[in-house]
Structure 1
Amino acid sequence: MTQIYGHRGAKGEAPENTLTSFQQCLSHGVRRCELDLHLSADNELMVIHDPTLKRTTGRRGKVVEHNASDLVTYDARKGGPGWVHPCPIPRLDELFEKCDFEHWQLEVKSASRMRAATTVLAIREMAQRFGLLDKITITSSSREVLAAALELTPDVSRGLVAEYAWLDPLKVAQNYGCEMLALNWTLCSPERLAKAQRQGLHVSVWTVNEPALMRRLADFGVDSLITDFPGLATATLESC
């Protein structure tokens, strides 16, 4: 049975990577999610996709230039589906506290060696504090991040985010001891899928928003799909 992950919560239905978006995902009975993390100036884990604030908040500057206490006051409704109420940028611990997900894909964007180390250690500490160590996977397309995770937090599950075939995703995943392969759906041939699963990888494909494509990938046998529309995905896969 193919599992469903809400992409940045329910990105197609509510402002991405906000508490509202994750609550929207849960409202469909989808209890797996994917989100993006950046560190604030004071090294707090903030849930936002871009390194800059412009697209989702309309503000200038980078996430890393602002303290968490300021970031949580910035409304992140811009550029997404219309929403009546303000939706601030959340800290990761707020989501851990308020959202009961069975599994979290925590995507860490590329970072310097030092920032990668700080980030993975902060994730592990927080997940342990909330009793979620067995419910998270640190995912990244950055070898710096995966190397830091392998070295510093070896007991936390790792996943490679793969967008390009020429990088030989299966080999990279193997090099960093990954358990998950978050694969751009365009790279998901039945052959690559079978090979990855033989390697022991959970294959999670993104971003899958069309019902026909959801059905096709489920027929291929993908382990999970990441979608902006968790409600639509639930209805589609239940009718298969």
Structure 2
Amino acid sequence: MTLIYGHRGAKGEAPENTLASFQQCLSHGVRRCELDLHLSKDSELMVIHDPTLKRTTGRRGKVVEHDAAELVRYDARHGGPGWKQPCPIPRLSELFEKCDFEHWQLEVKSASRVRAARTVLAIKALAEQYDLSERITVTSGSREVLRALKRLTPELACGLVAEYAWLDPLKVAKQYDCQLLVLKWTLCTPERIAKAQAQGLHVSVWTVNDPALMRRLADFGVDSIITDFPGLAVETLAKL
């Protein structure tokens, strides 16, 4: 059975990476999610995709230039589907408190060595505080982040995000002891999926919004899809 992950909550249905979006995902009975993390100026884990504020909040500047207390006051509804209420940028801790997901893919974007180390240690501390270490996989396309995970938090599951095939994703995943391979859908072939699964990897594919593609990937045998429309995915995969 192909599992469903809500992409940034339910990005196609509600403002991405906001509490409203994750609650929307859960409302479809989808209890797995993918989200993106950046550290605030005062080292809190904030749930936002871009390193800058412009696209989702309309504000200037970088996430890292603002304290968490400021960031949670910024409305992140810009550029997403229409939404009546303001949707602040959430702290990861708020989502851990309010959303009962059975599995979280936490993606950390590229970072310097120092920043990668601070980020993975902050994730470990929060995961332990909320007793969620077993329900989290930290994912990244950044070698620096994967190195930090292997070195500093080997007890956390990790995953490689692969967007391009110029480096063999299976080789890289093995090098960093990954349990999860997060593949862009354009890289999916039945052969690559079978090979990854034979290597013990869970294959999660993004971003899958078209019902025909959902069905095709399910036929290929992927373990999970990551979608902006978890409601549509539930409906589509239920018919298989």
Who is 2:37 aligned against? 37
CA displacement 1:94-130 (0-9 Å, x = unmatched) = 0000000000000000000000000000001100110
Q: SS of the residue aligned with 1:167?
A: coil
Letter in 2 for 1:37: L
Q: Structure 2 length as normaliser, TM-score?
A: 1.00
Residue 167 of structure 1, CA deviation = 1.4
Who is 2:61 aligned against? 61
Who is 1:134 aligned against? 134
How large is the Cα RMSD of the aligned pairs? 0.3
Q: Structure 1 length as normaliser, TM-score?
A: 1.00
In the TM superposition, structure 1's runs of 4+ consecutive aligned residues that sit over 3 Å from their partners are none
Letter in 1 for 2:92: L
The answer on 1:225 being equivalent to 2:225 is yes
Letter in 2 for 1:199: Q
Q: SS of the residue aligned with 2:78?
A: coil
CA displacement 1:4-61 (0-9 Å, x = unmatched) = 0000000000000000000000000000000000000000000000000000000000
Q: How many residues align?
A: 240
Distance 2:3 2:150 in 1: 26
Distance 1:220 1:232 in 2: 19
CA displacement 1:135-194 (0-9 Å, x = unmatched) = 000000000000000000000000000000011100000000000000000001001001
Kindly report which structure 2 residues correspond to 1:142-221, keeping only aligned pairs within 5 A, or say none.
Answer: 142-221=142-221
Who is 1:78 aligned against? 78
Residue 217 of structure 1, CA deviation = 0.2
Who is 2:235 aligned against? 235
Letter in 1 for 2:166: W
- Gaps of at least 5 residues in structure 1 are none
- Gaps of at least 5 residues in structure 2 are none
Distance 2:27 2:35 in 1: 17
Letter in 2 for 1:79: G
Distance 1:231 1:183 in 2: 21
The answer on 1:20 being equivalent to 2:20 is yes
Q: SS of the residue aligned with 1:74?
A: coil
Who is 2:7 aligned against? 7
